[in-house]
Amino acid sequence: MYPLFERVHDRWTYEPLQELGQTPSGCRKWSQSWVWRSLVGALGVAAVFAITRAIYHKRRYSPLDQYQDLNQFPVTLDHAPDHSPVDRRAVVSSLYSDGFAIAVAVVGHSARSANVSARFLVPYLENKVSEKALCIVRAVGWEPYPVPWIPPPHDGNGIHLRFMDQYTKLNVWALDKMGIDSAVYLDADTLVRRNFDELFDSPFNFAAVPDVDVHGGGFILSFNAGVLAFRPSSAVLKDMLQKLEVAEYPPEEAEQAFLNRYFAGTCMRLPFIYNANLGYKGRSPRLWKRLIDEMRIVHYTAVKPFIQDIHVTDTVLPAEEIEDAMEKSVLKKGGLYREEVGWWKDAYRKMMLDRGDAINQCL
């Protein structure tokens, strides 16, 4: 019994000879059951993997299931909020690298264009940010002020390099020392579409918008830290700095994970329109469409129209590079965010029209 080689249609094919008593159909049955068994096996492995992963996520990532008693501060103000005077409100962002100067300028200009009535304060790291970058953000009305670097917990062990400066964001809680009662924090990759003055009169000490699960799980209870409405308090900042070392969360997740732990059960969840995360559109285009007309703040998570490579961001980007980044962002994710990239593009153009002369003098 030897394999038989046969020339068929000008090609050599291999056909095993039949064993005695084994019919061609039996041979096929055996191979089918083999395929079937492998399939069942693979499904079994996948199921075990999925369950393990779910348990792992639940155990490791939920600030409520593994609740830690970190934050003793009250959830609401102890009196009905007065309309805070404009000079005691602040829109606040952060500037830790020259690469984000234009983005911070655009978000500031967009908030001013929406007539948000507040001071515009931007904390920056003195050793990381140049006079050129400060000049650009001043050109649209931001008041930059230097802040100390807040080191990541556990000496930065396990943290992504790009998150090394993220804890510095916590400094915004010290704005009470600058006479601010009520503040709205905006990440550099957000854009203001409409006025959000109502946030300044929130009776809650801390409010934020629920996030989208980047692992594909959909909507989740944890909040996204790109937009925060809060009452500054140096006492809270001091407490946070003490709790940084004891809060338990995956070290690679940075300040957003810490804030979720710290404000676990005390955060007021805001509607999606205050931090319209592009991830929502990926998850549900219908929901996105419903929200568009009321969106206050858009968050460019999935694509960043102002930057090509988030890791190479230590110089002020020249206009050509921004143009290039905008063009490329339109094409990303199969063109899903064409319209939203267009919003950013319009805001950038509008800023250059209004303040381009002042900005160009900085360069």
Ligand X SMILES: *[C@@H]1O[C@H](CO)[C@@H](O)[C@H](O)[C@H]1NC(C)=O
Q: How far is the CB of 298 from ligand X (least distance, A)?
A: 15
Nearer to ligand X, 114 or 241 (CB): 114
User: What are the beta bridge partners of residue 11?
Assistant: 8
Nearer to ligand X, 25 or 115 (CB): 115
Is 272:250 a contact under the CB 8 Å cutoff? Answer: no
Q: How many residues bind ligand X (CB under 6 A)?
A: 2
Q: How far is the CB of 128 from ligand X (least distance, A)?
A: 33
Residue 68's alpha-carbon distances to 191, 193, 334, in angstroms, are 34, 37, 41
Q: How far is the CB of 72 from ligand X (least distance, A)?
A: 40
C-alpha span between 270 and 198 (Å, rounded):
12
Nearer to ligand X, 113 or 315 (CB): 113
According to CB under 6 A, which residues from 82 to 121 bind ligand X?
A: 114-115
Binding string, 191-230, against ligand X, x = CB under 6 A? ----------------------------------------
In this chain, which residue has its C-beta nearest to ligand X?
Answer: 115
Q: How many helices (H) and strands (E) does the chain have?
A: 9, 12
Q: What share of the chain is helix, strand, coil (3-state, %, to 5)?
A: 50, 15, 35
Nearer to ligand X, 223 or 274 (CB): 274
Q: How far is the CB of 115 from ligand X (least distance, A)?
A: 4
Our finding on whether 141 is near ligand X (CB under 6 A) is: no
Binding string, 247-286, against ligand X, x = CB under 6 A? ----------------------------------------
Edge-to-edge, what's the strand order for the sheet holding 143-146?
143-146, 119-124, 89-92, 182-186, 218-230, 206-213, 268-269
- At 212, which helix (H) or strand (E)? strand 206-213
Q: Which of 185, 186, 184, 187 is nearest to 200 (CA)?
A: 184
306: how many CB neighbours lie within 10 A of its CB? 28
Nearer to ligand X, 82 or 294 (CB): 294
Q: How far is the CB of 192 from ligand X (least distance, A)?
A: 10
Q: How far is the CB of 141 from ligand X (least distance, A)?
A: 14
Residue 97's alpha-carbon distances to 110, 128, 152, in angstroms, are 20, 6, 17
Alpha carbon dihedral 88, 194, 165, 257, in 10-degree steps, equals: 100
Q: How far is the CB of 267 from ligand X (least distance, A)?
A: 29
- The contact set with ligand X (CB under 6 A) reads 114-115
